[in-house]
Amino acid sequence: MLRQGAAIAELARHGYDGLLTLYRRHGPVFTLGAGRHGYVYLLGPEANRFVFANTALFRTREAFEALVPVDGPTSLIVSEGADHRRRRALVRPALHHRRVEGYVRTMAESADAAIDAWRPGDRIDAYQVFRAAIRRGTVRALFGPRLAADADFLGDRLQPMLDVIDRMPQALRAHRVLRTPAWRRAMAARRAADERLYAEIARLRGEARGGTDPHAVAPGDGEGDGDGGGARGGHILADLVRARSADGAGLSDAEIRDQAMTLIAAGYETTSAALAWTLHRLLTTEGAWRRARAEAERAGPPTAESLGRVPYIAGAVNEALRLHPPAAISARHTAAPFTFAGHRVPEGATVVYSPYVTHRLPEAWPDPLRFAPDRWAEGFRPAPEHFCPFGGGAHRCVGSAMATTELVVTTMRVVARATLTPETREVRPRGLTTMRPAGGLPVRVTSVRPG
């Protein structure tokens, strides 16, 4: 029998690993808390399959309400039903893998710019360094050179928003209702970021009305042909302005703002966490850094073609996403009652599932705690319910191809150009909305090669 106090204490002491313990003790379904503040945990591969396959039983809006202050009320993350399908259909083409391949050079240049600042003997926080680099690369690749010039401005405004939502729902509600100083700072930061985004949307709409192709790149913008800026040198914000569904309807300015802000925030918050875990594992696994470096050197500079020649690095990225999924837990709100594994789950309950738990189960993964990039040899395709760092079903992250490409490209540049020594081998996770390394990723730069 589950004892509520003991279970909550287990989670408080051991965090994500506490969920693993509770799964082993109580099986795939258990409830913590009661009433509006209770959570029903559905854990393991079969639970994932059930959640992903039964979209009609769940709502995401209530489950991800905490993200609305950052992402906005029309973000894909909180959209439902027909609205979700329409917005996803308009956003998805701009994030298709063929378009993403066009961003490879931008991603590599952002990584190189960060590495260029290093000198042997430097002590750096690789997590924070690449958090800024990925933010700049993401904004440049997705939104073009004009907004790229404001990448740090946008990042500075996003941070108070991200800080305020990285809390339990009850705490976030208190901040909102009481309008605490943290809440007021976050909302002021949002207004400043929104002003910049809406100005760019208005400019692109003006170009579209005037017959100017908003994909076009003005001389001196710094976006060359080929890999620099995607197909025809374009970017996603222009695509969202131009996008039309089958009935000719487009996205409103507010919808474009919400998708853009979601892509910026998720594009560097979760990706930078995943990169930190990738580097941590490569640095603390015997021989892994040397092997990754040799592979990157053989493959040559990152291009759409050379990405296919780095299976060990790609496997390392997937292993980091498996062992340290940034979205370690996710949630849904039940729209109707249902029964799973013999347990009745009522309407209105908050259901929690966990990629972290699934990815560390021996019944799903042989030797699950071992970092083994070779398990991702060519042809290996785990079932979606076994490997779900980007969620699954109708609400699977639309930017997954963008994220994995950026992780592989950045890892290629770091291992090819730098030798790093970890300052600590023990890095603990923290964070509610994104599982990131507590205390960052402190490393010492041993050597740096020219770019």
397 annotated as ligand-binding: yes
What is the C-alpha separation between 232 and 230, in angstroms, rounded? 6
Q: What is the token pair recorded at 346?
A: 């009522």
Cβ proximity of 430 and 301 under 8 Å: no
| ∠ CA 275-238-104, rounded to 5° | 35
Q: Which tokens sit at 364?
A: 């799903």
Structure tokens at 52: 């992903």
Q: Phi/psi class of residue 211: alpha, beta or left (left: φ > 0; alpha: ψ in -120 to 50)?
A: left
Cα gap 102→39, rounded to integer Å = 42
Nearest to 235 by CA among 215, 257, 212: 215
Q: Which residues contact 343 (CB under 8 A, 6 or more apart)?
A: 29, 40
Rounded distance between C-alpha atoms, residue 153 and residue 286, angstroms: 40
Q: What are the binding residues for heme?
A: 397
Q: What are the binding residues?
A: 397
